[in-house]
């Protein structure tokens, strides 16, 4: 069903698929240089979108700070909860299935950007999936920096827009976030040593860096084996 405004979609109790379509269509027109109203970014509208995706009633991302959306996990970095990441990933997959998104890398079609994160043992766009959902959870948490946290708010923590930012970076390199985890942890370790932080904090950074490097090494080996 087509809607002329986001308010109309909400009033008609649009399905999550309809809301996805509205947001993507509006962003596409905006990208094409058309004059459009980005009328889905208010706190209330982000909350309605979160609810339509299947988030719990108290999980309006636009009303939450980063640590509330993505608490620090046992790996030592912030990650979005698994159930919410699955819903965002599924929404992006649906848009690609219906050809509403046409991601590209270097001007060439890149239909398999999500395959590293979709369930292992399945196939998408005729290619096998690898099941690295944790990495996608980390990616979403990283890109929430474009939301309300750092004073450069362009997404208002909208889960779909956050997911689209992730896809933009995956178009550069499907190992973008595996590499980023290593680089950011190295930076945190360097700053901790420079500031002469307690040995316990430095130890924690070293432990996280060891995990990050092992993860990246395994991901690169996986790519080599698949080639």
Other Cβ atoms less than 10 A from the Cβ of 104: the count is: 11
**Domain co-membership, 148 together with 136:** yes
Q: What is the pLDDT of residues 115-125, one digit of tens each?
A: 999 999 999 99
**Domain co-membership, 35 together with 64:** yes
Say what the pTM is.
0.93
108 phi/psi in degrees, rounded to 5: -105, 145
- Whether 1 maps to a domain, the answer reads no
Please give the average per-residue pLDDT across 153-165, as a whole number: 95
pLDDT at 1 over 70: no
**Domain co-membership, 41 together with 80:** yes
**Domain co-membership, 99 together with 151:** yes
- Whether 54 maps to a domain, the answer reads yes
DSSP one-letter string for 118-140: SPTT-EETTEE----HHHHHHHH
**Domain co-membership, 40 together with 68:** yes
Q: Which of 137, 130, 99, 94 is nearest to 115 (CA)?
A: 130
Confirm if 120 and 129 have CB atoms less than 8 A apart.
Answer: yes
**Domain co-membership, 151 together with 42:** yes
**From CA 58, how far away is CA 68, in angstroms rounded?**
11
- Whether 155 maps to a domain, the answer reads yes
Q: What is the pLDDT of residues 137-151, one digit of tens each?
A: 999 999 999 998 776
Q: What is the pLDDT of residues 57-93, one digit of tens each?
A: 999 999 999 999 999 999 999 999 999 999 999 999 9
Domain limits at 11?
Answer: 6-174
**Domain co-membership, 71 together with 93:** yes
Query: Mean pLDDT in the chain?
Result: 92
């Amino acid at each position: 069903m087509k809607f002329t405004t986001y308010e109309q979609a909400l009033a008609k109790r649009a399905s999550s698929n309809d809301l996805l379509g509205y947001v993507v269509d509006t962003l596409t027109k905006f990208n094409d240089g058309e004059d459009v109203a980005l009328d889905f970014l208010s706190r209330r509208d982000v909350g309605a979108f979160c609810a339509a995706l299947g988030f719990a009633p108290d999980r309006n991302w636009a009303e939450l700070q980063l640590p509330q959306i993505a608490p620090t996990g046992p790996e030592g970095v912030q990650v979005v909860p698994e159930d919410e990441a699955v819903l965002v990933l599924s929404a992006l997959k649906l848009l690609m299935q219906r050809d509403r998104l046409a991601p590209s890398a270097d001007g060439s079609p890149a239909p398999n950007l999500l395959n590293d994160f979709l369930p292992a043992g399945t196939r998408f766009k005729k290619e096998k999936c690898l099941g690295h959902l944790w990495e996608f959870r980390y990616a979403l948490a990283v890109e929430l920096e474009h939301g309300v946290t750092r004073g450069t708010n362009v997404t208002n923590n909208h889960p779909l827009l956050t997911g689209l930012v992730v896809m933009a970076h995956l178009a550069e390199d499907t190992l973008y976030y595996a590499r980023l985890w290593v680089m950011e942890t190295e930076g945190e370790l360097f700053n901790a040593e420079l500031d002469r932080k307690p040995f316990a904090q430095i130890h924690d950074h070293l432990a996280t860096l060891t995990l990050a490097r092992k993860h990246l090494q395994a991901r690169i080996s996986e790519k080599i084996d698949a080639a």
